[in-house]
Amino acid sequence: MLAIAASFVSCCGNKAADENACENKNETAMNTTMNDLLTRRSVRSYTDEVPPMEVIEEICKAGTYAPTGMNRQAPIIIAVTNREVRDRLSKLNASVFGPDNDSDPFYGAPVVLVVLADTTAAFTWKEDGSLVMGNLLNACHAKGLGSCWIHRAKEVFEMEEGKAILRDLGIDDTKYVGIGNCILGYTAGDYPEARPRKENYVYWIK
């Protein structure tokens, strides 16, 4: 999505001749955005392959451009491509279900982008973090990758082991609360279909 928007911006000069082309490109970018928003689904089966770092960086960048209350930019993203740390986070996440739980709540995804938010930066820290999560999920889809919001980041970073990860990165563990984990990678198997939308999702006042 970002790449398309960027290429649209760069094609626009002041010449009248460019205008039609720019309009068409703008329309294409809009259609692509709408299509991505409607077709993104939560993926729960992945290959082991780590996507290229540049792609993960672009996805993170999309996260950082989410709107935030008063532009306080309360959220942060911890981008984990390191297998050992990814596995540790998965184990901590599973332990929220109980000490004997040995599932992989990350469904084999090789990368996890953890979103936390600084509770002292803005009253809207939770909303801000959720919008970052939304951008990340949609950016993954725009880049042809599967993704899913995995919960329990709050509980994981309330644990001593989770707090230690924050401190190792120089993050103040007393200020930040986990919002969610955006797992990502290449989808294995069929891409899920959307379930029907409920009745009366939208109420109109015209």
Ligand X SMILES: Cc1cc2nc3c(=O)[nH]c(=O)nc-3n(C[C@H](O)[C@H](O)[C@H](O)COP(=O)(O)O)c2cc1C
Question: Under 8 Å CB-to-CB from 95, ≥6 apart: which residues?
Answer: 101, 159
> Six-digit token pair at 140?
């993954």
Q: Which is nearer to ligand X, 68 or 187 (CB)?
A: 187
Least distance in angstroms from the C-beta of 147 to ligand X: 9
Q: Please give the residues from 115 up to 144 whose contact with ligand X meets the rule CB under 6 A.
A: none
Q: Which is nearer to ligand X, 25 or 86 (CB)?
A: 86
Q: Which is nearer to ligand X, 131 or 165 (CB)?
A: 131
> Six-digit token pair at 194?
């959307």
Least distance in angstroms from the C-beta of 196 to ligand X: 11
- Piece of 24-32, 63-71, 146-154, 159-167 that binds ligand X (CB under 6 A): 146-154
Residue where the block lists tokens 């996260």:
63
Establish if 150 lies at the interface with ligand X (CB under 6 A). yes
Q: Which is nearer to ligand X, 149 or 186 (CB)?
A: 149
* φ and ψ at residue 101, rounded to 5 degrees: -75, 120
Nearest alpha carbon to residue 135 among 192, 182, 73, 195: 182
Distance CA 114, CA 92 (A): 13
Of 32, 171, 175, 192, the one binding ligand X (CB under 6 A) is 192
Q: Which is nearer to ligand X, 8 or 157 (CB)?
A: 157
Q: Please give the residues from 29 up to 48 whose contact with ligand X meets the rule CB under 6 A.
A: 41-42, 44
Establish if 148 lies at the interface with ligand X (CB under 6 A). yes
Least distance in angstroms from the C-beta of 72 to ligand X: 21
Least distance in angstroms from the C-beta of 152 to ligand X: 6
Q: Which is nearer to ligand X, 17 or 194 (CB)?
A: 194
Residues that bind ligand X (CB under 6 A): 41-42, 44, 148-151, 192, 194
